Amino acid sequence: MDAAIKPRTSAAIPLRFSFSPGGVAGTSFKPGHFAKILDEGPQRGFFEVHAENYMGAGGPPHRMLERLRRDHPLSLHGVCMSIGGPAPLDRAHLARFRGLVARYQPALVSEHLAWSTHETSFFNDLLPLPYTRATLARVCDHIDEVQEAIRRPILLENPSTYVAFRNSTMCETDFIRNVAERTGCGLLLDVNNVFVSAANHGYSALQYLADFPLERVGEIHLAGHTEQGDDEGTLLIDSHDGPVADAVWKLFEIVIARRGPVPTLIEWDSNIPDWPVLKAEAAAAQVILDHHIRGMRHAA
């Protein structure tokens, strides 16, 4: 462990939370909701935070997260690792990420199948990859490096995309399956990303889900999207700025019927509503999860 990190040990914050084979619904944690969450006391769900928002050593962000962690499981979601980038992983960034995992012992740890760096430049976006054997090897090497550093598997999230590469030699679901099989990582299935990409590229979201290795899914994301139109047609944007669309809820029900209940997160990252609105979205997901949990119990 790098001396500069000095994370808390797991003895300081014991790993008290693990998800059952069933599923619970959670939400992105927003500091503006902190007081309301504390007022309500411990809840059934979990909270997800972006790792990069907590890479400082202390201050108010960590005080809030430490308090939240006392009563709720956490999901740590990385957004800047650049797993698919051509350059080696940023070792300082990986060390900070490793420190956060050690400090908070999250129930789930995830990153994106995307890239966001080039040489010394960083792009504030999650950019798509060409699905080739060379890219596959690079992504697997990077995931191996992350998992070795944090000493646990990560979940890899499928992207939302707006362009496709002509030189791709395999489809996205085959690429993701190969990554999971080679590295042993789990998968984070973002159902909204499936819907957005399918609409943008003109393929079937249902067929994508039929081809997706659902047995490796350890977490699901749901979010809102927006439409952007011009003379060439309509483009869907994975904006995370509104409620989950009806069509995405339907896809979610199909996934849960096939995969079984797994932890499910409501993402809402801009135009953030009051806490009761976000909580209600999670409650809607929990209704679907609970329906299938009861069905599994009756079948047994």
pLDDT digits (tens, 9 = 90+) for 74-101: 999 998 899 998 889 999 999 999 999 9
Q: What domains does the chain contain, in order, with CATH numbers? A: 25-299 (3.20.20.150)
Q: At what angle do helices 275-299 and 246-259 cross, to 10 degrees?
A: 30
Residue 17 has pLDDT above 60, yes or no: no
pLDDT band at 8 (very low <50, low <70, confident <90, very high): very low
Amino acid occupying residue 201: H
pLDDT tens digits along 239-260: 999 999 999 999 999 999 999 9
For residue 238 the two structure tokens come to: 């994975």
- Maximum alpha-carbon separation in the chain: 59
Alpha helices for 105-169 (secondary structure H): 133-150
Q: Are 46 and 279 in contact (CB under 8 A)?
A: no
Most confident of 145-154, 223-232, 288-297: 145-154
For residue 224 the two structure tokens come to: 């809102």
Q: How high is the pLDDT of residue 300?
A: 64
Local structure of 28: helix, strand or coil? strand
Amino acid occupying residue 293: I
